[in-house]
Amino acid sequence: MSHSSENQQARILHASGLGKRVKNGERELVILEALSLHVDRGESVAIVGSSGAGKSTLLGLLAGLDMPSSGELEMFGQSLRALDEDGRAALRAGRVGFVFQNFQLLPTLTAMENVMLPLELSPRQDVTAKSRQWLERVGLGGRLDHLPKQLSGGEQQRVAVARAFVTEPDLVFADEPTGNLDETTGKRIIDLLFELNREAGTTLVLVTHDLALARRCDRCLQLEGGALHAIERRTGVGV
Amino acid sequence: MKLIGLSLKGLRRDLRAADVRALFVALMLAVAATTMIGFFLDRLDRGLTRQAGQLLGGDLVLEQGRPFDGELRQALRDAGLRLSDQVDLVSMVSQADAFQPAGLKVVDDHYPLYGRVRVDRGNGIEALDHGPRPGHAWIAPRLAQLLDVKLGDSVQVGTLALTISGLIDREPDQQAGFAGLTPRIMLNLADLDATGLVRPGSRIEYELLAAGPSAAVDSLSGRLDELRDAGVEVRDVRVDRPSLGRSLERAQKYLSLAGLAAVLLAGVAVAMATRRYVDRHLDTAALLRCFGASQRQLGQLFAWQLGWLGLAAAVIGALLGLAGQAALLALLVRFLPLELPPPGWLPWLMGILTALAVLIGFAGPTLLRLRRVSALKVLRRELDPIPVAGWLVVAVASLVFGALLWLYSGDALLSLGTLLGGLVALVVLWGVGQLLLSLLLGVLARLPQGNGGHAWRLGGRQLARRRQASLGQLLAFAVTFAAMAIIVLVRGDLLTTWQAQLPANTPNYFAINIQPQERDGVETLIEEAADSASGLYPMVRGRLTAIDGRPPSEMVPEEHRNDGALRRDLNLTWRGSLPQGNRITAGEWFGAGASQTIDGAVPISVEEELADRLGLSLGDRLTFTIGSDTVTGEITSLRHLDWESFQPNFFIIFPPGALEGFGHSYITSFHLPDASNAMLGEMVRQYPGVSILNVEALLEQVRGILGQVTRAVEFVLGFVLLAGVSVLYAALTASRPARAHEGALLRVFGAGDRMLSRMQWAEFALLGFASGLLGAVLAELAAVGIYAWLGLTPRLHWLLWATMPPVGALAIGIIGFTLSRGTRRQAPMASLRLLGET
């Protein structure tokens, strides 16, 4: 825990003793146990693990989409336990972006409208210009009015990436962003993701089972048996 | 504000979705149907009130035996009413040697307050807005014939000679009744004194007619009560309006019923489309939660979105309704005996209220589900919020529909009864539906192996697998079919009843004042020329002077002490057999030879509504004063009679032998084809004392209104059927993704297009067949109550049972099959991806 220190501003995520158990009939199933983690501003962290290791559960907890059974979790210095579901949503608003394995684009909305969606929740004026600008950044300037079903998988994920970055968030979560894409397309998406991340100085938390992808992050953590282990250190940050 | 803008944008994007379109169409149809009916009934009602005011002579009519004083006039004027004076009396008029009793109608310069007098002043018939000038008289053509005078001649009224300057074709305030049977002569009020007819003891009725807004009449209610107590006869157009009777009342009820059926159908469609809408927006809601939207924001966002949709549907629906009723009236304008006032504002308001109520009631609870979406759903698809409990959806929808019922019918008890009945029926249907599904599947399992049977079995299994969803659809379709069937059934029976009520040979003439010695001659004349006749009824005039030996004013319920039946002579008749069209509702008809007295009283039969008003029941003894004698009868039966039959109808019927000793005349009604009008002249010549009353105009008016309302009924029927189709569309749209998914999986497993088509066809047809059967049960049950409400005779509808199941199978089969065509054509991959499963 080399980062127990001073700069609260630098700390984006902080988890200690995090546990998640679910009831399955009479039995209680332990998914995560006494897990600790912190992520600093501008870092990119990969969480790898086999299928069923609880990666998505952890991502849901870290993003405040779900509540832990035990332990403490802070996002942007704010304890999530102290907040109700609406409070956690308000904390995410405009500051957290998401990229999902299955893109999660709304089928009745055009590419442009999908990107506009998170912006429209905040009191901003430049919604259209900003969305167009980000779609152009991901190379879809000519496909603004296309519906998701008119786009290829790679294009859909690029729309999702634009949507994740359009609010200029502090933190982006990516859940198996290449899981539904072929290798070449996946690689392009990852290049794009890291490029935008670097340019915008965003913090990135990425869940994947793809080790090659994980290695491109500053830190790489393995989720196994409900706990996290560092599998590689590049920048001296520890678990 | 941000949310409102966002909701509008969202809605615009959503217009691409089938469920949103289904929602829109359903709401629009509900509003169009209700506003169209609302506009139409509102205008018809106001038109009838106006016409009634015209028939009555004003909105308020006061009548007494002496002139009205100036203070009362001032009070009426201060309240905002226009006044006109009129004096009625019967007197002899003469020309040379000819004398004839005539009904004098003495009018002032403000006459008529409503409508116009149609008079022939020598240049054909003109419609004038005034009465005769001083020194002039207008007379009925029959009086001219009896006195043998023509235009320009002079006629003697009392001590005054007046110039005949007009022949009256129709008075606007001519009431169809037997009160003014003497032929009419109309003169100016300025001439009344000079006639010398106003003397102490003369039987003169002074009338003060007033016209103005109903609020003005309302403001005088205290004063009017005082006048009533002082013996003044007060007629308020809204209370005493001569009604067109049950036919129109039935038609109005039918139209309201049809409107409500359309609302119910739209409600079902909205409920089904909302389920799909919510399912489709779960992802949006989860994403928005991810992006930081609060529950409250989500709730507001979707509420606004549907609110806009509802408002747009309401406005467009109301415009459609307005256009619909305008088209309706344009089609009917030549049948209209009425001048209708322009459309009012109330129907607009009701339309918008209806749309919002349907939206809140039928979509509201389901919509709540969107608020409860967890953001985690973006990571774990299976995390759908628990669907809102079925009972909650049904309860809220029922509550709102009950409130709408109340709003439209104004009858809380009826609404509550309907609601409870409906809920019980739903629970029963749920059970029956379960049973029916099991039964169908059992039968299918026994189908012989083979290609066709296989498809049916598979289709059936599809239904069985989604048992709850299938049951929901089954009930929705059953309610839909039942509502449509009821509207069709009632329409048919209503029209049949109307046609039976006024057949082509319905009497169009009445002949009265037929003296006993003229009876045979008149009967022969009528038999030769008329194609139908009621037969001659003897008529004795007598006044009810005692009930059980005490004055009627002590025995009658307080609110009916001023009843016309107590103030005037009643027409009594005797007869051995029950007249045609009469029905005994209590007691027994006195048989032949029943003239024996029961302790000095003869058995009599009384019309049920009169008995009800006067608080009379079987066993009561009524004493009538006829001339200087009295006769007492004991009520042994109550009768229901059809006032619209154009037959002579009597409140009181005595057995033969009781009244023959009194002075009497005869009355009859008959139908005369136009060509035979020569007979009337013959009758007048041979029997000058006989009065002939032409009711062709009244008959035409009733026929015209029935015809008009029939068309309205048919028009509205179309709307209800459309609303029904919108339900089918909404329901099948809602279940399309699930069906697409199943289809895709089966395709993956190797099912061909032919197999899929057959299977889907089988599934829809089975669903339709079961719904049709269940709908027939529901329709037959509901018909019992509805027929009683409309006063129609209930009957079993065999045809319904025979046609509904196959028609249901065909309708659901065709619509469902067509709607699923797209999913059958789609590559399996696309269908699966549609559900996010790739």
State the residue for tokens 């009425």. B338
CA distance B447 to chain A (A): 41
Distances (CA, A) of A216 to A190, A211, A213, A232: 9, 9, 6, 11
The residue ranking higher by pLDDT, B495 or B831, is B495
Q: Does the pLDDT of residue A236 top 70, yes or no?
A: no
Tell whether B237 is covered by a domain.
Answer: no
CA B429 to CA B732: how far, in whole Å? 21
Tell whether B394 is covered by a domain.
Answer: yes
Distances (CA, A) of A132 to A114, A128, B104: 11, 6, 90
Looking only at the bridges linking them, the beta strands covering B98-107 and B184-188 are parallel
B200-240 tens-digit pLDDT: 766 788 889 998 877 788 888 888 888 877 778 787 776 65
Tell whether B219 is covered by a domain.
Answer: no
Q: Please tell me which residue of chain B has the smallest CA distance to A59.
A: B379
Distances (CA, A) of B732 to B20, B590, B755, B832: 13, 63, 20, 19
What token pair was written down for B675? 């060509």
Contact A65 B9 (CB under 8 A): no
In which region does residue B669 sit, left (phi positive, over 0), alpha (psi from -120 to 50) or beta (all else)?
Answer: beta
* Mean pLDDT for chain A overall: 84
CA distance A236 to chain B (A): 31
Q: Does the pLDDT of residue B594 top 70, yes or no?
A: no
Q: Among residues A224, A220, A223, which one has the least CA distance to residue A237?
A: A220
**Per-residue model confidence (pLDDT) at position B218:** 81
**What is the interface size between A and B, counted as CB pairs within 8 Å?**
84
Q: Does the pLDDT of residue B408 top 70, yes or no?
A: yes
B266-325 tens-digit pLDDT: 888 888 888 888 888 888 888 888 888 888 888 888 888 888 888 898 899 888 888 887
> CA angle at residue A196 from A195 to A202, to 5 degrees?
115
CA A235 to CA B35: how far, in whole Å? 73
Going by C-beta distance under 8 Å and a sequence separation of 6 or more, which residues neighbour residue B746? B755, B756, B759
**Per-residue model confidence (pLDDT) at position B204:** 80
Lowest mean pLDDT among A132-141, A172-181, A207-216, B383-392: B383-392
The DSSP output letter for B677 is: G
The DSSP output letter for B372 is: T
Same domain as B756, residue B800? yes
Q: Among residues B630, B831, B811, B627, which one has the least CA distance to residue B721?
A: B811
Tell whether B54 is covered by a domain.
Answer: no
CB distance A228 to A234 below 8 Å: no
CA B194 to CA B196: how far, in whole Å? 5
What token pair was written down for B545? 């002077």
CA B513 to CA B208: how far, in whole Å? 30
Per-residue confidence band for B136, with pLDDT thresholds at 50, 70 and 90: very high
Average pLDDT, stretch A158-174? Answer: 90
B838 touches chain A (CB under 8 A): yes
Q: A86, A173, A176: best mutation site toward chain B, by most B Cβ within 10 Å? A: A86
Q: Among residues B716, B740, B764, B762, which one has the least CA distance to residue B823?
A: B740
**Per-residue model confidence (pLDDT) at position B333:** 53
Same domain as B707, residue B687? no
Per-residue confidence band for B176, with pLDDT thresholds at 50, 70 and 90: very low
Contact B6 A121 (CB under 8 A): yes
**Per-residue model confidence (pLDDT) at position B179:** 38
The residue ranking higher by pLDDT, B247 or B118, is B118
Tell whether B797 is covered by a domain.
Answer: yes
Contact B291 A93 (CB under 8 A): yes
Determine phi and psi for A235, rounding to 5 degrees. Answer: -125, 15
Q: Does the pLDDT of residue A198 top 80, yes or no?
A: yes
Beta-carbon count within 10 A of A93 CB: 20
Same domain as B261, residue B151? no
Cβ burial of B297 (10 Å; 0-12, 13-18, 19+) is buried
Number of domains chain B contains: 3
The residue ranking higher by pLDDT, A31 or B684, is A31
Average pLDDT, stretch B15-19? Answer: 77
| Cβ neighbours of B385 in A, within 8 Å | none
**Per-residue model confidence (pLDDT) at position A5:** 43
What residues does B598 pair with on adjacent strands? B601
B8 touches chain A (CB under 8 A): no
The residue ranking higher by pLDDT, B788 or B699, is B788
Average pLDDT, stretch B650-673? Answer: 86
Same domain as B111, residue B87? yes
The residue ranking higher by pLDDT, B100 or B547, is B547
CB distance A94 to A118 below 8 Å: yes
Range of the domain at B74: 60-211
Secondary structure (3-state) at B181: coil
The DSSP output letter for B208 is: E
**Per-residue model confidence (pLDDT) at position B174:** 60
| Cβ neighbours of A109 in B, within 8 Å | 13
| Cβ neighbours of A110 in B, within 8 Å | 13
CA distance B374 to chain A (A): 7
CA B93 to CA B98: how far, in whole Å? 8
**Per-residue model confidence (pLDDT) at position B441:** 75
Q: Does the pLDDT of residue B385 top 80, yes or no?
A: no
Q: Does the pLDDT of residue B721 top 80, yes or no?
A: no
B294 touches chain A (CB under 8 A): yes
CA B314 to CA B582: how far, in whole Å? 47
Q: Does the pLDDT of residue B680 top 80, yes or no?
A: no
Lowest mean pLDDT among B46-50, B373-377, B508-512, B638-642: B46-50
The DSSP output letter for B131 is: -
Q: Does the pLDDT of residue B343 top 70, yes or no?
A: yes
Tell whether B227 is covered by a domain.
Answer: no
Q: Which amino acid is residue B125, in one-letter code? A: I
Same domain as B542, residue B519? yes
Contact B290 A108 (CB under 8 A): no
Q: A22, A121, A176: best mutation site toward chain B, by most B Cβ within 10 Å? A: A121
Question: What helix, strand, coil percent values describe chain B, rounded to 5?
Answer: 60, 15, 25
CA B368 to CA B366: how far, in whole Å? 5
| Cβ neighbours of A56 in B, within 8 Å | 379-380
- B195, B211, B227 — which closes off a domain? B211
Going by C-beta distance under 8 Å and a sequence separation of 6 or more, which residues neighbour residue B457? B444, B445, B447
What residues does A224 pair with on adjacent strands? A227
CA B118 to CA B767: how far, in whole Å? 63
Same domain as B735, residue B816? yes
Q: Which CATH number fits domain A42-67+82-232: 3.90.550.10, 3.40.50.720, 3.40.50.300, 3.40.50.2000?
A: 3.40.50.300
Lowest mean pLDDT among A155-164, B45-54, B180-189, B475-484: B45-54
**Per-residue model confidence (pLDDT) at position A213:** 84
Same domain as B400, residue B256? yes
Cβ burial of B75 (10 Å; 0-12, 13-18, 19+) is middle
Tell whether B53 is covered by a domain.
Answer: no
**Per-residue model confidence (pLDDT) at position A159:** 92
Lowest mean pLDDT among A174-183, B92-101, B731-740: B731-740
Per-residue confidence band for B772, with pLDDT thresholds at 50, 70 and 90: very high
CB distance B824 to B743 below 8 Å: yes
Distances (CA, A) of B533 to B10, B133, B509, B539, B648: 71, 42, 9, 17, 10
The DSSP output letter for A112 is: H
CA distance A37 to chain B (A): 21
Give strand ranges (E) for A44-115. Answer: 44-48, 70-75, 78-79, 96-99
Q: Which amino acid is residue B194, in one-letter code? A: A
Secondary structure (3-state) at A199: helix
Same domain as B360, residue B255? yes
Same domain as B70, residue B28? no
Per-residue confidence band for A6, with pLDDT thresholds at 50, 70 and 90: very low
Average pLDDT, stretch B590-596? Answer: 61
**Per-residue model confidence (pLDDT) at position A15:** 92
Secondary structure (3-state) at B32: helix
Looking only at the bridges linking them, the beta strands covering B691-694 and B509-514 are antiparallel
B419 touches chain A (CB under 8 A): no
Same domain as B360, residue B283? yes
Q: Please tell me which residue of chain B has the smallest CA distance to A87.
A: B294
CA B767 to CA B471: how far, in whole Å? 9
Same domain as B674, residue B767? no
Distances (CA, A) of B5 to A121, A212, B151, B305, B310: 11, 44, 77, 10, 16
Contact B292 A180 (CB under 8 A): no
* Mean pLDDT for chain B overall: 80
The residue ranking higher by pLDDT, B18 or B133, is B133
**Per-residue model confidence (pLDDT) at position B16:** 73
Per-residue confidence band for B246, with pLDDT thresholds at 50, 70 and 90: low
- B661, B694, B727 — which closes off a domain? B694
- Highest mean pLDDT range out of A47-61, B442-456, B501-515? A47-61
Going by C-beta distance under 8 Å and a sequence separation of 6 or more, which residues neighbour residue B825? none
Same domain as B521, residue B491? no
Q: Which amino acid is residue B730, in one-letter code? A: A
The residue ranking higher by pLDDT, B511 or A74, is A74
Lowest mean pLDDT among A86-90, A203-207, B754-758: B754-758
| Cβ neighbours of B300 in A, within 8 Å | none
Tell whether B231 is covered by a domain.
Answer: no
State the residue for tokens 């009793």. B101
